[in-house]
Structure 1
Amino acid sequence: MAVPPSLPAGDPPASAGQGSRGGLTVLCAVALLVLAVSLLGGNRGSDDSAGAPLPARAGASAPASSGTGAAALPRSRPVRLTVPGIAVDAPFTDLTLAANGQLQPPPAADTNLVGWYAKGAAPGETGTAVIAGHVDTKTSAAVFARLDQLQKGDVFQVLRADGRKASFTVDSLETFAKDAFPSRRVYADADRPEVRLITCAGDYDRQAKDYKDNLVVFAHLT
């Protein structure tokens, strides 16, 4: 399931702009998290826990990467994301869950902003950190407009509140249909520090006023 974008009913996307998908420049709701009952129910940890958005299950693992990666860092809030290869230099905001268990997207008014699921692992901490950003808005390209240009082996950094800079290497990019999003695979907990960068992708559905797919970048601390 996808979070519906906040567009007025019947309001079509504006004309194409730089970084738009499929010739459309629209407000894109990026996060597709519909969390398992274990996160929302009795198996959930305390509000201060750093559990992943979806607990690891047998047979649910992230794509294999080359090398074992760097040693984990202690928990610290992310401050800024820099992805030199696609000219991203953006501050963070915290993302929370709505009452229906879906992850709230970052505010659309600021096109140069990324969101971090603050109840999950912090970037650099052991586990799966989730970072989401808009691909575009109704009027312009947004922070993750060029996310699909990343390639395996590319490196990006997260500046943390403790002053450390965590560097991550891209393992893979994959596109998933929103109505068949593999939550357990994408959000499964990890035994090393990993990150998922997520944005909208694919064709724009005018009736639903949302993109049909999501792009996920899998990466690990190096």
Structure 2
Amino acid sequence: MARTSARRRRPDRGRLRAATRSTLRASGRLAARSTRRLGRVARQTFRASVATTDPTAPPLPARPARPRVRRRFAPGAGPGLPVLAIAGLMVAIIAMLGVERVTGISVLPDQITAGLRPPPKKFPVLPASEPVELTIRTIDLRAPVHSVGIAADGSIGVPDAGRAQEAGWYDQGPTPGQYGPAVIVGHVDTTTGPAVFHELKDLRAGDRVEVTREDGTVAVFEVNQVQRFDKSELPAGEVFGDFSRPNLRLITCGGRWVGGETGYADNVVVFASLVKTHRT
């Protein structure tokens, strides 16, 4: 065997430095994406449930985006426990993702890594455009959609009682077809009879939901599952935290009637994913 074939080549230091810089940049992008996602989920936890509408308290209008203001900490003030906790969580996530890449073994829960791992199959993605109509042929539903904001109690607003046959798109989140969960809410009934989402609980996995948008496109979603959650224990991360692909959440009230400010005890949530689009 020739001597040259037995010698090991010395590593190229320039390539090593370039690979190191590339890895650091990738980690930085990963941390930024994760931080934004965790921030969105955290903000949603304070207004996750959908309340039964009080006719005397209609939802508040959409709030315009406020300019960001840089705030300085007072001398001697630390970042605080929440900031340190998020920073620690980010370091742990990045480290465990590195372990996954090296070993090929998944060590992080799917709820945390939604949006970080590649999705299981291809899907379309649409630009922003507000929804105008909702169609679910399985339950013979066709209804107008208008935007709703945040209710006075901090929950997601719903259409007022006079528009109980319409659905409301939560305008602080993605539009249907964008990355993330677009949220559309509606009443289950009123004092005079069934409302727009009365049959929502009857949907099953595989059913199709079509959302017509202002730009003339129709986003077609496929139902993954239908679940019912106690309003006081609605899991914000599970419902609002999946930014791995364009999703849809249809939410209404359900369960037993308890009256008072709560109305129905539960929220019925339909989980659906975008599978195709077409033009009207």
TM-score normalised over the length of structure 1? 0.71
| CA displacement at 1:4 relative to structure 2 | 5.6
Q: Distance in 2 between matches of 1:214 and 1:4?
A: 9
Work out whether 1:6 is the aligned partner of 2:44: no
| CA displacement at 1:98 relative to structure 2 | 3.3
Counterpart among 273, 276, 279 of residue 220 in structure 1:
273
Q: Residues 200 and 69 (structure 1 numbering): CA distance in 2 closer, same or farther, change over 3 Å? A: farther
Q: Letter of the aligned partner of 2:230 in structure 1?
A: A
User: Structure 2, unaligned stretches of length 5 or more?
Assistant: 1-48, 59-65, 70-89, 94-108, 276-280
Q: Distance in 2 between matches of 1:212 and 1:156?
A: 26
Contact 2:180 2:242 in 1 (8 A): yes
Q: Distance in 2 between matches of 1:126 and 1:73?
A: 8
Work out whether 1:72 is the aligned partner of 2:125: yes
Contact 1:169 1:220 in 2 (8 A): yes
Corresponding position of 1:89:
142
Q: Distance in 2 between matches of 1:2 and 1:156?
A: 20
1:156-175 correspondence to structure 2 within 5 Å: 156-175=209-228
Q: Distance in 1 between matches of 2:247 and 2:228?
A: 18
| CA displacement at 1:101 relative to structure 2 | 2.6
- Which structure is richer in relative contact order (CA contacts within 8 A, separation 6 or more)? 1
TM-score normalised over the length of structure 2? 0.57
Contact 1:111 1:143 in 2 (8 A): yes
Residue-by-residue CA offset, 1:154-211 (whole Å, 9 max, x unaligned): 0010001111111000000110011111112111141210000000010001355600
| CA displacement at 1:7 relative to structure 2 | 6.2
Corresponding position of 1:153:
206
Q: Distance in 2 between matches of 1:189 and 1:161?
A: 24
Q: Residues 147 and 3 (structure 1 numbering): CA distance in 2 closer, same or farther, change over 3 Å? A: closer
Q: Distance in 1 between matches of 2:186 and 2:264?
A: 14
More helix by share: 2
| CA displacement at 1:68 relative to structure 2 | 2.6
| CA displacement at 1:70 relative to structure 2 | 2.0
Q: Residues 93 and 140 (structure 1 numbering): CA distance in 2 closer, same or farther, change over 3 Å? A: same
Residue-by-residue CA offset, 1:65-97 (whole Å, 9 max, x unaligned): x96352101111111000000111011111111
Corresponding position of 2:81:
none
Segments of 4+ moved more than 6 angstroms: none
Q: Distance in 1 between matches of 2:199 and 2:247?
A: 21
Corresponding position of 2:231:
178
Contact 1:195 1:219 in 2 (8 A): yes
Q: Letter of the aligned partner of 1:112 in structure 2?
A: Q
Contact 1:75 1:124 in 2 (8 A): yes
CA RMSD in angstroms, aligned pairs only: 2.9
Q: Distance in 2 between matches of 1:85 and 1:67?
A: 26
Q: Distance in 2 between matches of 1:197 and 1:82?
A: 12
User: Structure 1, unaligned stretches of length 5 or more?
Assistant: 9-28, 30-39, 44-56
Look up the SS of the partner of 2:135 in the other structure. strand
Q: Distance in 1 between matches of 2:272 and 2:235?
A: 17
Corresponding position of 1:115:
168
Larger Rg: 1 or 2?
A: 2
1:134-149 correspondence to structure 2 within 5 Å: 134-149=187-202
Q: Distance in 2 between matches of 1:80 and 1:67?
A: 29
Q: Letter of the aligned partner of 1:3 in structure 2?
A: A
Q: Distance in 1 between matches of 2:129 and 2:272?
A: 18
Q: Distance in 2 between matches of 1:118 and 1:177?
A: 24
Aligned length: 177
Q: Residues 207 and 219 (structure 1 numbering): CA distance in 2 closer, same or farther, change over 3 Å? A: same
Residue-by-residue CA offset, 1:89-138 (whole Å, 9 max, x unaligned): 01111111135432211122123200001121000111110000100011
